[in-house]
Structure 1
Amino acid sequence: MTGRLELVGLRLEAAGRVLVDDVALCLQPGKVLALVGASGSGKSLTTLALLGLLPPGVQRTGGRIILDGIEQDTAGLAALRGRTVGLVQQSPRSSFNPVVTIERHFRETLALAGLRRGAARTRALELLAEVGFDHPAEIVGRYPFQLSGGMLQRVMIALALALDPRFLLADEPTTDLDTVLQAQVLDLLGRLRARRGLGVLLVTHDLSVVARLADHVAVMAGGRIVEQAAVGELFQRPRQPVTRALLEAHLALCQGEPSELAA
């Protein structure tokens, strides 16, 4: 797998106020880039900007989004969704239609690839098996409210992979899960990255997640990237006060936790 997805000089505004300014990121095949920072730092808006999915009132007033060296216009960004870039949102329960079966969710997504009826069902079962369901045929007939949060998160990941994207944007994918389920989801993302060669943008405020999965880290504060480094370098030699504060908070929370989470 070749090529990369780049964000250069992103600037977002709402009602005359700058929310994100001069943000640059680069996603590479087979690599996990973690975008970390406190709530409100601009992480989720930056992620949505990569797909042209900004909320009402927020505008991109600067910056370029470049895929394989080609700058993407509005139509180009729309064409990326699902096919080139998959999105895993932070609240799986609110991302599903509660009165539509899991199979119907897959059918609607897979129709974009021309798969219908039996072919769509077969593909849905394959995807559900890939994300760890031992009996996927039991899952497709259920409604979202019949699944746990961890199960829904795996279904959402399967849906994000349905059109075989090259990149995956995972926005706080473990926020609503307990520690055991968090570890399972992160292990799953790691396996998918290795198996599919995915380039992953992992958005999180949790440095335990970063330590477990990321190759490279970008630290965001006040709508700007304040530091970027390889994960080992950032943990051992943080340069910015914001980064040091995040690490101190992480280490304080991880006292008494398994050593790999505090590493």
Structure 2
Amino acid sequence: MFFKFIVSISIVVLVSAARIPGPEERIVGGHYIPIEYVPWQVSLINDTNHNCGGVIHSDRAILTAAHCLSNVRTENLLVRAGSSHWRKGGQLVKVLKAIPHEQYCPSLQSNDVAVLILESPLKFNRKVQKIDLAEETPQDETMTLVSGWGRTQANATYSWPILQGVHVALLDPTKCKEVYGKDVICADNLGRGICSGDSGGPLVNLKDRKLIGLVSWGYGGCARRNPGIYADVAFFRNWFNKTINENIQSITSDCKK
């Protein structure tokens, strides 16, 4: 939610029958997206407000951005899954544990990843599904989909109530890492992209439907001159798996005492 001008998510019409006309088109180059198309997407709610996006890794684990947990009390966090509306519908579950990367650096926005452990498991159905993690960083020009409830323009004062999405192309990963850091990837589609409120949301490879990035931050306003920056999921894959396994096991152990 807080990333320096994180780019607001817009989407190409994916299902023409599901397209919402009128006001829903006034986002940064995109459109409404039904949750069935991205069933791994969740909204992270702080108290009563949409805070960030998140991604379903398993029925008890959610992936998001570390900066989404800044100045946030875990007991106030909820996850809504299975709805295109962050305010209503789907499944609403409390967060039991919030674990940012131990080397997260706010000033550099490095290691901007976190794991949430849910108080109770999600119930999988056609609107609620986990997503596989990419084993390696995709190549330049890979077409992707990013989704979220972020602001529709840089000066907007509220998150969009209905899920949006946009297709963006991956930029040269080697050059991106040289400029922005070894743990990130870059994606861009001029005039379309992520914005505040989209942080922690999924960047998905359209070819194999694997998670390749988590929305982190951006420069110079929403979807303008510079690319959107995403935590590289392949880079953090081992950390995600280790952190989730350790914390799920600790919950199981506590239950047996």
Q: TM-score, normalised by structure 2?
A: 0.26
Between structures 1 and 2, the one with greater helix share: 1
Between structures 1 and 2, the one with greater strand share: 2
Q: TM-score, normalised by structure 1?
A: 0.25
